[in-house]
Amino acid sequence: MSEIVPPEVRPKPVVPAKPSHVAPHSSGPFVPSPQGTGGEGRGSALLGYIGIDTIIEQMRKKTMKTGFDFNIMVVGQSGLGKSTLVNTLFKSQVSRRTTSWSRDEKIPKTVEIKSVSHVIEEGGVKMKLTVIDTPGFGDQINNENCWEPISKYINEQYEKFLKEEVNIARKKRIPDTRVHCCLYFISPTGHSLRQLDIEFMKHLSRVVNIIPVIAKSDTLTLDEKTEFKQRVRKELEACGIECYPQKEFDEDMEDKSDNDKIREAMPFAVVGSDKEYQVNGKRVLGRKTAWGVVEVENPNHCEFSLLRDFMIRSHLQDLKEVTHNIHYETYRAKRLNDNGGLSFQTGATV
Amino acid sequence: MKVLTVTVCSRDRWPPTCFSFVVFCESCLLKPLTVFVFVLQQQKNLEGYVGFANLPNQVYRKSVKRGFEFTLMVVGESGLGKSTLINSLFLTDLYSPEYPGPSHRIKKTVQVEQSKVLIKEGGVQLLLTIVDTPGFGDAVDNSNCWQPVIDHIDSKFEDYLNAESRVNRRQMPDSRVHCCLYFIAPSGHGLKPLDIEFMKRLHEKVNIIPLIAKADTLTPEECQQFKKQIMREIQEHKIKIYEFPETDDEEESKLVKKIKDRLPLAVVGSNTIIEVNGKRVRGRQYPWGVAEVENGEHCDFTILRNMLIRTHMQDLKDVTNNVHYENYRSRKLAAVTYNGVDNNKNKGQLTKSPLAQMEEERREHVTKMKKMEMEMEQVFEMKVKEKIQKLKDSEAELQRRHEQMRKNLEAQHKELEEKRRQLEEEKVSWEAQQRMLEQQKLDASRYTHVNKDTPEVC
């Protein structure tokens, strides 16, 4: 996979739409596309080429050197294909699959939080990907408050970051363990959301970016899929649950239209697989059943490619930004207000 | 070789027509030979046709006239395709599309709903009762969600027990639950704690047949693994699911073995008809193919249907009657006799002999009659009172009228009196006037007379 994806960082420079004369760099045939968005204020006409637009290139070089963190949490009942989906998303065995249930791997009595980190590299860009799994969620007979351990974990990460930030001698780059994105797996009953789903999302949509996905969607025919999605969307609206991308954070019309398109297609009906099969001479990722092969990356079969493009190719940075600027800030403000001051040296625990 | 001693040991397992003889040979005393001799049972060959070969037909005709009953319970979380499967099994729309699906039914507690339908096929009637359990396993806290189900099954057993213990038991409707289809979600991992708990509590009360719902989610390999895992867990927790009976018939035992290998059955339900290669089949249409419901390679639906309806329906009823019901009954009666008679008032009648029961029934009857009599008396009294009241009223009315009339009469009388008085007065005055007039006249005449007499002074 040496395909280079131009990083769609959303810059706010006042760059007039002028083709750049930047010579190609040694790092690859990269041509910075003029991103003339966000023209705030009046762009004064430049009398010559200054070179402000090389900032994109500079940012890119920096990012490549430092790499970046991305933390994704997967929540859902056992057996919904969470680990398989994460593996499919990042095309590598980032999550240990629990297909073979030996007697030691019983369903845990309480929700556990297991996080596994990998460093994956693509096109010179290093990403430290952390997958946080939540085995035991929703599997008991009595599932009251099974979201509490998860909520606690997320707040702990915010707390860690806050502590680092408030330090007098700060590290140059604070390790970011905050959860940037939470994929919530909805069971494909075809009827509506379960009570547990609604409760979880109510409690956590204000704390973290939730992206609901319909798991194992090869159970549903096309009609059932559209109906189910509509019903889920209506229910989410009725309960006042805002999933990512949140409407209130749309910055301009372009954002809004993009995000509206995404919101119409949510929740994504996905199928995960890491096995390859031959279909029409091509090797595709899929699931082979007695009546056909479900192709994972075929948009007619399931919406996995939509989800992947959305999450990784277009909104990855935005997920991080929303987490940092909004969720973390909310936490921070609450924390500082509650304490009435900074008393972190004493190790105040939340 | 002379036969010295013969010991006969017949093995119970073998058909009773087989005996084994231990033969001691004279020449080889050390080596007894066991000779197996098959002795045919004494069959009498009939000469002529007696006709009891017609017995099965009589039984058949009687049962067909009577019709059959079957109660099927479906348990599972919502959205697992229970209603669709029932519709597919019996090819009727028991749950029509307008039936409010789980999205419209907001249930806070588990309910138990019964729907009855009478199906006819080839002259045979089947009264099918489907017991549904909406709300099972849907709440956040599902502890004791099996309790309503257990209560329902027990109450049906109790009804049957009471009906059986009555003196007059001509009509014994059998509404006991004959079979429970338990739907397992196709997670691919194993049984959930809820599944295990439920099955542990119900395997002694009803025939449980576990099914893997929505089996088109799983690929064949995943399905195999999942089934193995489930069977392992079922054995581990010592859950007694419905066992298929052993048969002597070769073909049947082959069938039974086939079913046993594929337990728990992975089913797909659908009633929509789709064209595949020119054939019209029931199935589910996906962009990548059509999952056929009745195709044995796609899912085990045909096996389930054949087993449930075509071959083992009677056996399910028998096992319910002989095993589960008897368990319940013995437990119930043991509890009652242990705790004394007064355990439950309405269960007390079970320990009495029929005579005592008859006494009691008679007493009941008498009390009923008395009550009825009392009631009738009451009603009679009430009616009498009413009538009296009415009569009184009319009497009062009459009295009033009488009074009024009298008053009227008196008034008239007075008037008349008045008038008479007036008349009298008038008469008197008139007479007075008359007299006066007369007097005047007299006076006048005297005056003139006087005048005539005295022609004097003028």
Q: Largest alpha-carbon pair distance within chain B?
A: 216
Q: Which of B219, B223, B235 to mutate to test the interface with A (most CBs of A within 10 A)?
A: B219
DSSP for A301-349, written as a single string: T-SHHHHHIIIIIISHHHHHHHIIIIIHHHHHHHHHHHHTS--GGGT--
Measured CA to CA in angstroms, residue A75 lies from A98, A116, A204, B301 at distances of: 15, 14, 11, 33
Question: Could you count the other beta carbons within 10 Å of the beta carbon of residue B210?
Answer: 23
Distance from CA of A295 to the nearest CA of B (A): 8
Burial of A271 (0-12, 13-18, 19+ CB in 10 A): buried
Nearest to B138 among A190, A195, A301 (CB): A195
Q: What's the CA gap between B99 and B116, in Å, rounded?
A: 15
Note the pLDDT of residue B108: 57
- Does the CA dihedral B46-B50-B53-B55 come out positive or negative? negative
ipTM above 0.90, yes or no: no
Question: Could you count the other beta carbons within 10 Å of the beta carbon of residue A28?
Answer: 11
Distance from CA of A291 to the nearest CA of B (A): 5
Nearest to A294 among B141, B284, B288 (CB): B288
Nearest to A300 among B139, B287, B291 (CB): B287
Whether B308 contacts chain A with CB within 8 A:
no
Instruction: Answer yes or no: do A191 and B101 touch at CB < 8 A.
Output: yes
Note the pLDDT of residue B97: 53
pLDDT confidence band for A247 (50 / 70 / 90)? confident
Q: What's the CA gap between B143 and B146, in Å, rounded?
A: 8
Q: Which residue of A has its CA nearest to B78?
A: A189
Percent over 70 (pLDDT), chain A: 79
* Three-state SS at B370: helix
Note the pLDDT of residue A184: 92
Q: Which of B236, B276, B286 to mutate to test the interface with A (most CBs of A within 10 A)?
A: B286
Contact B134, B74 (CB under 8 A): no
Instruction: Answer yes or no: do B140 and A291 touch at CB < 8 A.
Output: no
Quick check: A2 pLDDT over 50?
no
Note the pLDDT of residue B409: 96
Contact B193, B179 (CB under 8 A): no
Note the pLDDT of residue B371: 94
Instruction: Answer yes or no: do B189 and A216 touch at CB < 8 A.
Output: no
The tokens describing B259, both together, are 């079913």
Burial of A184 (0-12, 13-18, 19+ CB in 10 A): buried
Q: What's the CA gap between A212 and A267, in Å, rounded?
A: 5
Kindly report the pTM of this predicted structure.
Answer: 0.68
Instruction: Answer yes or no: do B77 and A189 touch at CB < 8 A.
Output: yes
Eight-class DSSP state of A142:
B
Higher per-residue pLDDT: A186 or A138: A186
Report how far Cα A173 is from the mean position of its chain's Cα atoms: 21
Q: In degrees rounded to 5, what are phi and psi of residue A160?
A: -60, -45
Higher per-residue pLDDT: A109 or B416: B416
Instruction: Answer yes or no: do A141 and B185 touch at CB < 8 A.
Output: no
Note the pLDDT of residue B382: 95
Give the number of C-alpha atoms closer than 13 A to the C-alpha of residue B215, restricted to the C-beta side: 34
Q: In degrees rounded to 5, what are phi and psi of residue A175?
A: -65, 130
Contact B183, B213 (CB under 8 A): yes
Residues of A with CB under 8 A from a CB of B: 77-80, 98-99, 101, 107, 139-144, 187-192, 194-196, 199, 216, 218-219, 221-222, 231, 287-295, 298, 300-301
Eight-class DSSP state of B348:
G
Whether B320 contacts chain A with CB within 8 A:
no
Per-residue pLDDT of chain B (458 residues; tens, 9 = 90+): 454 444 444 444 444 444 445 555 455 555 555 555 555 567 777 777 887 788 888 888 877 887 888 899 999 888 888 888 888 888 777 765 545 555 455 555 677 888 888 888 888 888 888 888 888 888 888 888 888 889 999 999 988 888 888 887 777 778 889 999 999 988 888 888 888 889 998 888 899 999 998 888 888 888 888 999 999 999 899 888 888 777 777 887 887 888 888 888 899 888 888 888 888 888 888 888 888 888 888 888 888 888 888 888 888 888 888 888 888 888 888 887 766 544 444 444 455 567 777 888 889 999 999 999 999 999 999 999 999 999 999 999 999 999 999 999 999 999 999 999 999 999 999 999 999 999 988 888 888 777 666 555 54
A:B CB pairs within 8 Å: 107
b/e burial code for range B100-128 (CB count within 10 A of at least 16 → b)? ebbbeeeeeebebeeeeeeeeeeeeebbb
Find the range with the poorest average confidence among A89-98, A241-250, B147-156, B183-192: A89-98
Note the pLDDT of residue A22: 41
* Three-state SS at B30: coil
Percent over 90 (pLDDT), chain A: 10
Helices (DSSP H) in B78-192: which residue ranges? 82-90, 147-165
Q: What value, to the nearest 5°, has the Cα angle with vertex B4 and ends B3 and B7?
A: 95
Find the range with the poorest average confidence among A18-32, A111-125, A135-149, B104-118: A18-32
Whether B266 contacts chain A with CB within 8 A:
no
Q: Residues A282-297: pLDDT tens digits?
A: 888 888 888 888 888 8
Whether B224 contacts chain A with CB within 8 A:
no
- In B, which residues are within 8 Å of A187 by CB distance? 79, 185
- In B, which residues are within 8 Å of A290 by CB distance? 220, 291, 295, 297-298
Q: What's the CA gap between B294 and A130, in Å, rounded?
A: 45
Q: Which of A289, A298, A304 to mutate to test the interface with B (most CBs of B within 10 A)?
A: A289
Q: What's the CA gap between A90 and A84, in Å, rounded?
A: 10
Nearest to B141 among A142, A194, A292 (CB): A142
Higher per-residue pLDDT: A202 or A38: A202
**β-strand partners of A125:** A122
- How are beta strands B68-75 and B124-132 bridged, if at all? parallel
Contact B122, A178 (CB under 8 A): no
Q: What's the CA gap between B109 and B137, in Å, rounded?
A: 10
Hey, which residues 100-119 in chain B have their CB within 8 Å of chain A?
Answer: 101-103
**What residues have CB less than 8 Å from B27, skipping those under 6 apart?**
B1
Give the number of C-alpha atoms closer than 13 A to the C-alpha of residue B39, restricted to the C-beta side: 11
Q: What's the CA gap between B333 and A344, in Å, rounded?
A: 70
Q: Which of A103, A235, A291, A294 to mutate to test the interface with B (most CBs of B within 10 A)?
A: A291
Q: What's the CA gap between A88 and A96, in Å, rounded?
A: 12
Note the pLDDT of residue B388: 95
- In A, which residues are within 8 Å of B291 by CB distance? 289-291
Contact A144, A207 (CB under 8 A): no
- How are beta strands B33-38 and B18-25 bridged, if at all? antiparallel
